[in-house]
Structure 1
């Protein structure tokens, strides 16, 4: 169904607005991944023990999950333009606090705020789906989501290069400046005439999210698929540093981060998935992508013998994950147009759980059983996703 308010808003938007949304989303989500290659430097600078410094990543991810559950839904209640700009400015303040941290307490508090506010990305995706024409929604969601995935993949590369040049604090101070610039750009681009929905108590807004998953089976079906594909995604990207930094290869952090560039190629190619969803071929796209995800673990398993094989596997895996992710969002956004922010927040909670499971499982398996065990786990999760899709492929709306 056409959205007159959205049509009026897009009349005043520049033609390249999806690219701005993609850039803003990628920049925002990258903030929660910068710390991973910087833990050693932060530990030395602030005299935090090796056993405690990992808490920086944990705190950031925990508060990101809180943001998904508590903040994204506000997009269905208040003016999204004001919400996005306000969160951008607060995010810049949190990043500056991290960059100027002089104690463990200040660092952890700043990282908690960074994680909480990184959910701007999901508000942007929901807003983009509202502004897009129904026949073009999948392509637009694909573009914006592609920018987010690129932000995730290149965050470690950016952090490594900037830290080599100016130290770990320079990473967060540079992101502060970029975030402020993006807030200014969005304040000029985002439509001012967005219609705000009828007032709804915040507690009822949160309760309605859980009711949506009981009312619409397709939501939890696509949510479980998200959990499984991002378990596989995190299994690769969390543990990849381990075999590449072993004596066999002894690659530097910057060199390892450059492998994210190959993932970007897959993410860009997967924008095609959004167009296929617009054409009503979401079910076929999902099945094909999940089969590709399972196949990707074969070349990845040869990482110890060939970096070329790893590169092929990375492209295939990221292409598959992105294709399913874009298709999932295109489908759920068509369910209840008035609840897109809540649907986004609920869906991304599955993503967050999957990412955490993949991170914990992959590092444990590598430490105790080696790289082949990691690959078998990733392949097993991918096979489970394919089997789950096959069992539920006739779910109403799954062929959208």
Structure 2
């Protein structure tokens, strides 16, 4: 098996970050999309993208247990570039929603990169290695908003999707040139049986169930906030443009840098306290948002830092737990884990935008804080000594 060299880690980090960024480019653009395509765009576009991502994880990520991940990554990135071109050229809301859904499905190339790192890494350092690749993915999530906001403010929302298509093509070339050619998995089952085995994993792995539930709830809180932040800061008393809204991603990027530290702690100590601490910080962020975030940019900045550190630390620790469960089923484990996360994300995006429309910022803080508190309760109520099967 190929080793996870520094060059391979860098390539996987860039691919993971560049692919996953596509599901967040639309968030700072919601005001522009609503102006051009109607108010429904601010709900339908981000929800369709996240729902597509969840479906892509369910339908495409398990293929990593059947085929070479390098081949899957290159193929998905090429198709993603084509879907982004369609998004840039969309003549109306319906076509943009459809293109956004397809973009979400194909952006799961990021979720081929992360288990690829887990597959190549030695057991003793898997958490740290996965944490390093996840730093790229998390920076992609956060910096996507900043870059999208800047480009959207200057050139419009169509230019954002056009530039993203060019980036996807570049990443496909990078993957083809730099990723190792690993031996394909032994064909032990067909695609239907592969998908059916997901049920067995859910039933037989209580650690996987609890990790997936925790992260789904935290991601619902995370997306409830981020899908409405642009709407909040563009309105009085702030009056920022999309570029200003996107700059909050730079603050959150600091939280992504904790990923390798969380992975290292999970390798040497235990993942569970990292999960609990991360969930606590996520809940604390909504306390800050609720008390001061409606009138203070500084409070919003503090809350952004808390929520991104919290969710990233919990994510890396939970990944360290679940990737250790079954070496031959990491693709399917990743499928269960991230399908739950992005179903939660789609729910949070929808609930957050609807709460904001109905009751403004206070309602959003109540909804997001409720998701975060529920996510905190899962590790707090877990029995000590729960072991994988």
What TM-score, normalized to structure 1? 0.90
Contact 2:149 2:246 in 1 (8 A): yes
Aligned match of 1:299: 288
Kindly name which structure, 1 or 2, has the bigger radius of gyration based on alpha carbons: 1
For 1:104-123, list aligned pairs within 5 A: 107-123=96-112
Q: Decide whether the 8 Å contact of 1:32 with 1:115 is kept in 2.
A: yes
Distance 1:120 1:295 in 2: 32
Q: How far is 1:283 from its partner?
A: 1.5
1:190 aligns with 2:185: no
Distance 1:126 1:115, change over 3 A: same
- Please tell me whether the aligned partners of residues 33 and 41 of structure 2 are also in contact (alpha carbons under 8 angstroms): no
SS of equivalent to 2:40: helix
CA distance in 1, matches of 2:11, 2:198: 28
Q: Is the 8 A contact 1:297 1:378 kept in 2?
A: yes
Report the Cα offset of residue 62 of structure 1: 2.6
Aligned to 1:234: 223
Shift of 1:199: 4.1
In the alignment of these two chains, the number of paired residues is: 387
Deviation larger for 228-237 or 30-39:
30-39
Asked if the contact 2:218/2:372 (under 8 Å) is kept, the reply is yes
Deviations 1:106-127 (A, max 9, x none): 5444333211101111111111
Q: 1:169 to 1:291 in 2, by over 3 A?
A: closer
Taking a change above 3 Å as real, the CA distance of residues 172 and 377 of structure 1, as seen in their structure-2 partners, is closer
For structure 2, the residue ranges without an aligned partner over 5 or more in a row are none
Match of 2:13 in 1: 22
- Is the 1:218–1:395 contact (alpha carbons within 8 Å) kept by the matching residues of 2? no
Compute the displacement of 1:388 (Å).
1.9
Runs of 4+ aligned structure 1 residues displaced above 6 Å come to: none
Query: What aligned pairs does 1:121-270 form with structure 2 within 5 A after superposition?
Result: 121-270=110-259
Checking the alignment, whether the CA contact within 8 Å between 2:43 and 2:353 is kept in structure 1 is no
Moved more, 166-175 or 120-129: 166-175
Q: 1:299 to 1:175 in 2, by over 3 A?
A: same
- Distance, in Å, in 2 between the alignment partners of 1:209 and 1:338 is 13
CA contact (8 A) 1:331 1:397 kept: no
| Equivalent residues of 1:27, 1:151 under 8 A apart | yes
User: Residues of 2 paired with 1:223 and 1:376: CA distance?
Assistant: 23
The match for 1:354 is 344
User: What's the counterpart of residue 313 of structure 2?
Assistant: 323
CA-atom RMSD, angstroms? Answer: 2.2
- Please give the TM-score of this superposition, normalised by the length of structure 2: 0.92
- The answer (yes or no) to whether the contact 1:34–1:156 under 8 Å persists in 2 is yes
2:355 matched residue in structure 1:
365
Deviation at 1:166, TM superposition (A): 3.1
2:25 is aligned with 1:34: yes
